[in-house]
Amino acid sequence: MIEKTGIPTQEDLERISPCKDRFRKGGCAVLECFQEIPCDPCVDACPRGAIRIEGNINNIPVLDFDKCNGCGLCVSRCPGIAIFVVNWNYSEKEGLVMIPYEFLPLPKKGDIVDGLDRTGRKVCDARVVRVLNREAQDRTAIISLAVPKEYVMRVRNIRMRKSR
Amino acid sequence: MRRAETEIAVIGGGPAGLSAAAVASSLGARVTLIDENLSLGGQLIKQTHMFFGSKIHYCGVRGIDIARILEDLVQKQEVETMLDATVVGLYENMILGILKSDRFWELQAKRIIVAAGAREKMLAFPNNDLPGVYGAGAVQTLMNVYGVRPGRKVLMVGSGNIGLIVSYQLLQAGVEVAAVVEAVPTIGGYLVHASKIRRYGVEILVSHSIVEAIGEDSVEGAIIAKLDDNWNFIPGTERTLDVDTICLAVGLAPLSEVLHQSGCELVYMPELGGWVAVHDENMGTTKKGIYVAGDSSGIEEACTAMLEGRIAGADAAGSLRPEAKSEADRVKREAKLELDSFRAGPFGEQARSGKKKLFTSWVQ
């Protein structure tokens, strides 16, 4: 289905999601990369060696959830803008989502923005808790968003509000 | 008229030509690089997105920055460059006719590498000649090179990587994208690019195409409709979109006119985009001393263009300089392995089978 819509299905997402126990333990990357393409920067991006591409460069990367600590270094390195970090344990009520973001203006810490799903629909309010845009990220900013826990696997984009 | 001489003439300063020139020059050859634009880089100078591939292909680096890296390399190697210069003919005895600033040059070369790139394909539909109908590559140039927004709201026709990437860059420039239509039942480009624009609410409509453009003096709208299995529009599925720009991303065709004129053998290969010069694994055509690399040798993308350029540059220089031959062979070996690995996935299949056919027909 994703090859007709650009939207991953529930099964697609289940294949790349951590198991429930790992998910509840804390931050980890989610590699939303579902197709064999010639690409491997994510492998080098991870200082813990958690991402592997076996054999040919076209193979789909595999994340070792036990090695991943959710640091987010891979997020701005993926040319496909397809890596996110989710943390169920951010606070009692909120989870954290880190998204790659290549639009200007960048949001500011503390902004309330629309949390959008994989189709661009608003699903919840999102609070910007950190904006990282270091030189090493080469203009792909990483926006950390606090969202209601149940939305950490749904929010994948933001829309800024006009009146700031 | 002016006359000049060189050892290796490289036509086109894009990823393939720059790579060919840098390698050939590093192997000791005297190289002249000719490009019709005012700056080097070819299409790289508008590729603001990060490239795919592995480290050796500059993966994760933005195309605009790869252009700078390759240009520096060429300048360090003291390659002679002729900018604002168009090759208008390839004559007998390896002489190039070049038009530079209204002056005609004859350049005598020992080897010629054609890395002229490609042109955008057109699509037939009523009113396709209205102002506001653009090639997607042209829109990308307008936006990313000249800082000009092409319109307010765009219909993108074609979901290959160019269609998807330019849609994303339109969004970055603050231009609305009404939809992406794709005649084939599945998305043509990388799904990660598709998902990127989907997250901004842009619908990708497969099995859909443009019926006609609406407007008197310029584009005021577009009618799209669904296609059946035989590529016919299904009556009753028409939708009118409020757009002022229609972007065509329906494929590229290799620029091979100069090769045609040189007398080397060409074949029509749909999987490589059209007429391409028959060539061997070292990128040599059927005409001795004339090479081809990059999109001119069959439509692929920048990473494979750079690798093909390296092969052509190494082979040309190695054939002129016996003392550089072993190093040239090493460069070729490495680049060929990289090419094989790059093309090993499903997206490399067309190039893989197309190039194989070319190599075998060259042997015959």
Here the ipTM equals 0.97
Alpha carbons A159 and B274: distance in angstroms, whole number? 42
Compute the average pLDDT of residues A118-138: 97
Residues in Cβ contact with B332 at an 8 Å cutoff, skipping those fewer than 6 apart: B282, B310, B311, B314, B315, B318
Compute the average pLDDT of residues B44-67: 90
B208-214 sheet: strands from edge to edge: B208-214, B221-226, B239-241
C-alpha closest to that of A6 among B202, B166, B251, B136: B202
DSSP state of B222: E
Residue pair B85/B100 in contact by the 8 Å Cβ criterion? yes
| Contact: B50, A44; criterion CB under 8 Å | no
pLDDT at B158 over 90: yes
Nearest chain A residue (CA) to B58: A41
Local confidence band at B55 (pLDDT 50, 70, 90 cut-offs): confident
Give chain A positions within 8 Å (CB) of B204: 4-6
pLDDT at A163 over 70: no
Give the model's pLDDT for residue B206.
Answer: 98
Compute the average pLDDT of residues B273-298: 97
DSSP state of A88: T
CB nearest to A58's CB, from B49, B201, B344: B344
| Contact: B345, A118; criterion CB under 8 Å | no
Nearest chain B residue (CA) to A36: B345
The helix/strand/coil state of B10 is strand
Give the model's pLDDT for residue A83.
Answer: 98
Residue pair A58/B346 in contact by the 8 Å Cβ criterion? yes
pLDDT at B244 over 90: yes
pLDDT tens digits for B31-44? 999 999 999 999 99
Alpha carbons B189 and B250: distance in angstroms, whole number? 12
Compute the average pLDDT of residues A43-65: 95
pTM equals 0.96
Q: What number of residues does chain A have? A: 164
Compute the average pLDDT of residues B34-57: 91
* B193 inside 8 A of chain A by CB: yes
CB nearest to B347's CB, from A38, A78, A117: A38
Give chain B positions within 8 Å (CB) of A80: 52, 190, 192-193, 195-196
| Contact: B195, A8; criterion CB under 8 Å | yes
Higher pLDDT, A161 or A119: A119
pLDDT at B56 over 80: no
| Contact: B348, A140; criterion CB under 8 Å | no
Least confident span in A62-71, A102-111, B114-123, B355-364: B355-364
Give the model's pLDDT for residue B364.
Answer: 64
* A140 inside 8 A of chain B by CB: yes
| Contact: A80, B185; criterion CB under 8 Å | no
pLDDT at B166 over 80: yes
Tokens 């190697």 — which residue? B77
The alpha carbon dihedral of B222, B228, B233, B237 has a sign of: negative
Give the model's pLDDT for residue B295.
Answer: 98
User: So where are chain B's domains?
Assistant: 2-119+252-363, 122-248
pLDDT at B363 over 80: no
Residue type, B316: A
Residue pair A1/A9 in contact by the 8 Å Cβ criterion? yes
Local confidence band at B131 (pLDDT 50, 70, 90 cut-offs): very high
Provide the token pair at A50: 């958690």
Average pLDDT, chain A: 96
> In angstroms, how far is CA B224 from the centroid of its own chain?
28
Local confidence band at B361 (pLDDT 50, 70, 90 cut-offs): confident
Q: Is CATH 2.40.50.140 what the domain over B122-248 is classified as, yes or no?
A: no
What is the widest separation between alpha-carbon atoms in chain B? 70
Alpha carbons B358 and A27: distance in angstroms, whole number? 50
Residue B362, judged by CB atoms within 10 A of its CB (0-12, 13-18, 19+), counts as middle
pLDDT at B79 over 90: yes
DSSP state of B300: -
Higher pLDDT, B24 or B102: B24
The alpha carbon dihedral of B227, B230, B231, B235 has a sign of: negative
Strands A141-148 and A94-101, sheet pairing: antiparallel
pLDDT at B105 over 90: yes
* B232 inside 8 A of chain A by CB: no
Q: Which residue of A34, A39, A78 to mutate against B (max B Cβ within 10 Å)?
A: A39
Compute the average pLDDT of residues B3-27: 98
Compute the average pLDDT of residues A19-46: 95
CATH number for region B2-119+252-363: 3.50.50.60
* Alpha-carbon separation of residue B91 from A80, B94, B267 (angstroms): 45, 6, 21
Radius of gyration over every alpha carbon of chain A, rounded to an integer in angstroms: 15
DSSP state of A19: P
pLDDT at B242 over 60: yes
Equal fold, B2-119+252-363 vs B122-248 = yes
Alpha carbons B221 and B241: distance in angstroms, whole number? 6
Give chain A positions within 8 Å (CB) of B56: none
Give the model's pLDDT for residue B1.
Answer: 81
CB nearest to A39's CB, from B52, B197, B199: B52
* Alpha-carbon separation of residue B83 from B78, B86, B117 (angstroms): 15, 8, 16
Q: How many CB atoms neighbour CB A80 within 10 A? A: 23
Provide the token pair at A150: 């149940």
